Homo-oligomer: A and B are copies of this chain.
Amino acid sequence: MNTLANLPNKVKIVEVGPRDGLQNEKQSVSAAVKVALVDRLSRAGFLNIEAASFVSPKWVPQMATSVDVMAQIARRPGTIYSALTPNMQGFEAALASRADEVVIFGSASEAFSQKNINCSIAESIARFAPVAQAAKEHGLRLRASISCAFGCPYQGDVPLAAVADVVGRMRDLGCDEIDIADTIGVATARQTQAVMLRAASEFRIEAIAGHFHDTYGQALANIYASLEVGVSIFHSSVSGLGGCPYAKGATGNVATEDVLYLMQGLGIETGIDLDMVVDAGQFIARQLGRNGASRAGNALAAKCADVAAPG
């Protein structure tokens, strides 16, 4: 028989539903609902919650409420509340709102970078230098999110060397944590391992996070494959908040409940109460007037017992 890889004993789950998730939902929700969601997640035990985005409200209407959210949440000591900050204006807002961590971003795909922001990857990252420097000066944690690390809607394949290059650039800006994101959900397990191992050649694997989308149903397999190569930070979205803005019915971010169910089964510590997350997921799904997109969440909520037929 084959030799099985060792898995980490403990992982950090970064809950991205309140920001990344809700930003990609069709309906916008009020600051009060966002606060209620973040507070439920804080109580469930998350050590890191992506709670706000200080981009221009003109671009992303749901984020106009970020100031209110950050002002009104009940902060749990020890929990990091993160905010997306595309520029110095955003950084100042994040600082004023007492964000614990600011998030900058870049793409591993040259085509994606050119198409979306009309400049090269290298230029786009260089523009974050003042934000990175300001974060350091103010003692804020700095995280970088690298999109399209496993595939790009415009160029298709993304070379490992391109991932390594952008990880190196983010490291050089002084990032404390770097997310390797499968923005369009196309990765499969062995590719995931190859990309993570290559990223780990440029940055310490203890501070590399896997951000997977379940668009093709692969996210849990990719997370398991990442654990096998030593990744111990994962992003997920309660109730599968997010969805795919370009395809009705397709899913986006991997659901937190599914990830926690996996970790529980593997005996890996997260410090998070799954039942409370299921409740939080049911809460936000009700607010959005739709069913939850977490399989484990729905099954646990319904206490499913599929006992009818053989097989």
CA distance A187 to B292 in the complex (A): 21
A95 within 8 Å of B (CB atoms)? no
Checking B60, B230, B310 against A84 with a beta-carbon cut-off of 8 angstroms, the contacting residue is B310
A281 located at the interface, meaning its Cβ lies under 8 Å from any Cβ of chain B in the complex: no
Instruction: Give the residue of B179, B181, B266 whose beta carbon is less than 8 angstroms from that of A189.
Output: B266
B295 touches A247 (CB 8 A): no
> What distance in Å separates the Cβ of A138 from its nearest Cβ neighbour in chain B?
22
Within 8 A of B (CB), among A70-127: 84, 105, 107, 112, 116
Chain B residues near A188: list those with CB within 8 A. Answer: 261-262, 264-266
A166: min CB distance to chain B, Å: 13
Partner of A213, one of B228, B249, B306: B306
Min CB gap A103→B, angstroms: 8
**A306 B229 Cβ-Cβ under 8 A:** no
Q: Would you call A261 and B217 a contact (CB within 8 A)?
A: yes
Quick check: which of A33-41, A170-178, A218-226 contacts chain B, the rest being far away? A218-226
Report the separation of the CA atoms of residues A264 and B221 in the bound assembly, to the nearest whole angstrom.
Answer: 14
Copies of this chain assembled into the complex: 2
Q: How far is the CA of A60 from the CA of B310 in the complex (A)?
A: 12
Q: Which chain B residue shows the least CB distance to A184? A: B306
Residues of A within 8 A of B (CB): 1-7, 16, 20, 23-24, 60, 84, 105, 107, 112, 116, 145, 147, 153-154, 179, 181, 183-185, 187-191, 193, 197, 200, 211, 213-218, 220-221, 223-225, 228-230, 235, 244-252, 255, 257-258, 261-262, 264-267, 291-292, 294-296, 298-300, 302-311
Residues of B within 8 A of A247 (CB): 298-299, 302-306
Contact B60 A23 (CB under 8 A): no
Known contacts A3-B5, A295-B250; decide if A215 and B306 are in contact (CB<8 Å).
Answer: yes
Residues of B contacting A292 in the complex (Cβ-Cβ under 8 angstroms) = 249
Q: Cβ of A154: which chain B residues have Cβ within 8 Å of it?
A: 307
Would you give 26 A-B contacts (Cβ < 8 Å), ordered by A? A1-B197, A1-B200, A2-B6, A20-B311, A23-B309, A105-B310, A181-B311, A183-B311, A184-B305, A185-B306, A188-B262, A190-B265, A190-B266, A211-B311, A215-B304, A215-B306, A217-B255, A220-B221, A244-B306, A245-B306, A246-B304, A246-B307, A247-B306, A249-B291, A249-B302, A250-B298
